[in-house]
Amino acid sequence: FLITPIMPFILQWERPEYRATAAAFAFSVNSLSLTLGSLIGGWSPRLFSSLFDFEIQSVESYRLALLLGLGVAAIGLIPMYRMVDARLRSGEDEGEFAALPELPPTRQQVRRDIMVFAGATGIFALGVGAIMPFYNVYLNSIGARPSRIGMVFALAGVVAAIVCLLVPVLAKRFGDLNTLFWLRLAPAPFFLLLLLTPNLVVAAIAHIMRTATTSMSWPLDSGVASQVLPPRARASGFSIRSGFWNLGYAISSLIAGAVIVTWGYGPTFVAFAVCSAVSAGLFVQYFRSHPRRQNLR
C-alpha cells in the first residue's frame, strides 16, 4: 500500500527535472530503512529482556519489539498528514507531456504499454523468486554461519542505499534504457559462476550485486513507464505491475522449492539469469521505439 504509489506520487508532485533524483533518493532511503529496521528488530528483544528482566525468547520481549516497530511506523504518518493541505499543481500534467503536440494515446496503446511494463516485471520476479526465499539456506549450506549471513544481507542493503543515488548520473551518461539493461544483467554472471565454484565470497558478491542493481533499476523502469503512460493510467499501471511482481515471485518460489529438493540450487541460478535477460530485453526493446519517447527526444 505504501511502496506501490511511490512513483505515481513523485510524478504528481515533483518537477520533471527533479523526478529522477527524487525517485533515486526515495528508493535509497527505502533500502536503508529496511536494513536498519531489520537490525533494530533483531536486537530489540535482547534489549527489552535486559531492561525489564525478561527472557530473551519470552512473549513479552517480542511483544515490546513489535510495539516498537508500530511506534516507528506511526512516526512516518506525521509527514504524510502534513501533505494533506498541499494543493495540486494547475493542469493535469506539465513538463514533457505539456510539450507533446500529438493526441493522447489510445486505450489499446495504454493497455499494451501497461502489459509490457507489468509483464517484464513479472518475468524478472520469476527469476528473483527462484533464489531469494532460499538464499540464506544456500549460504548456510556452503559454510556461512548465521552471523555472516546476517552481515551479507545487511551489507547488501547498505550498498543498495548508497548506489541508488548514482542512478540519475548513470542514466544521464548512458541513457535510462541502456543503464537499466546492464543493471538487470550485471548479477547474472556471478550466479552462473556459483554453478562452477560454490564459494562463499562469490555467493556474497552475487547477493550484494542483485540487491543493489535491483534497487537501482526500479527508478529507471518506473521513470520510463511514467513517460509513456498518461497521468490517469499511472496509478493503475503501477498497481498492475506490483501485482505481477507478487504473483511471479510467489509462483516461482513454490516451484523453486521443489526444484531445489530434487536437483539442487543450480537450476534456480540459471532461471534467475535467463529471466533477468528476457525481462530486460523485452522492456528495453519495446520502450526504446515507443512513439511517445521518440517525441521527447
Q: What is the pLDDT of residues 180-238, one digit of tens each?
A: 999 999 999 999 999 999 999 999 999 999 999 998 998 898 888 888 888 888 888 88
CATH value at residue 79: 1.20.1250.20
Domain that holds residue 200: 6-296
Sorting pLDDT into bands at 50, 70 and 90, what band is 86?
Answer: low
Is residue 94 scored above 50 in pLDDT?
no
Q: Above pLDDT 90, what percent of the chain? A: 43
Q: Which residues contact 267 (CB under 8 A, 6 or more apart)?
A: 259
Confidence class for position 93, pLDDT limits 50, 70, 90:
very low
Cα distances from 221 to residues 71, 184, 233, 287, in angstroms, run 33, 11, 16, 10
Answer left, alpha or beta for residue 265, where phi above 0 means left and psi between -120 and 50 means alpha: alpha
Query: What's the Cα-to-Cα distance from 38 to each of 50, 185, 205, 270, 288, rounded to whole Å?
Result: 19, 28, 20, 29, 38
* Pair 58, 44: CB distance under 8 Å: no
Domain total of the chain: 1
DSSP per-residue codes, 89-155: PSSS--TTTTT--SPPPPHHHHHHHHHHHHHHHHHHHHHHHHHGGGHHHHHHHTT--HHHHHHHHHH
State residue 90's pLDDT score: 41
State pLDDT tens for residues 128-137.
Answer: 999 999 999 9
What pLDDT, on a 0 to 100 scale, did the predictor assign at position 89?
A: 47
Confirm whether 241 is domain-assigned.
yes
Domain membership of residue 287 (yes or no) is yes
pLDDT in tens, 18-42: 777 777 777 777 777 777 777 777 7
State yes or no: pLDDT of 277 exceeds 60.
Answer: yes
Please tell me the predicted confidence (pLDDT) of residue 97.
Answer: 44
pLDDT score of 47:
83
Question: What's the rounded Cα separation, in Å, for the pair 44 and 70?
Answer: 13
- Average confidence (pLDDT) over 46-51: 82
C-alpha to C-alpha distance for 243 and 3, rounded to whole angstroms:
12
- How many CB atoms within 10 Å of residue 67? 12
- Residue type at position 295: N
User: 292: how many CB neighbours lie within 10 A of its CB?
Assistant: 19
* Residue labelled with grid coordinates 504528481: 12
pLDDT of residue 117: 95
pLDDT reported for residue 104: 61
In a domain, 1, yes or no: no
pLDDT given for residue 101 in this prediction: 45
Radius of gyration of the chain (CA): 21
pLDDT at 9 over 80: no
Q: Which segment of 99-108, 169-178, 231-240 scores lowest on mean pLDDT?
A: 99-108
Of 199 and 61, the structure prediction assigns the larger pLDDT to 199
Give me the helices (H) in 164-265, please: 167-174, 176-185, 188-196, 200-228, 231-263
Q: How would you class 238 by CB atoms within 10 Å of its CB: exposed for 0-12, middle for 13-18, buried for 19 or more?
A: buried
Which pLDDT belongs to residue 1? 55
Q: List, in order, residues 6 or more apart from 111 with CB less than 8 Å away.
A: none
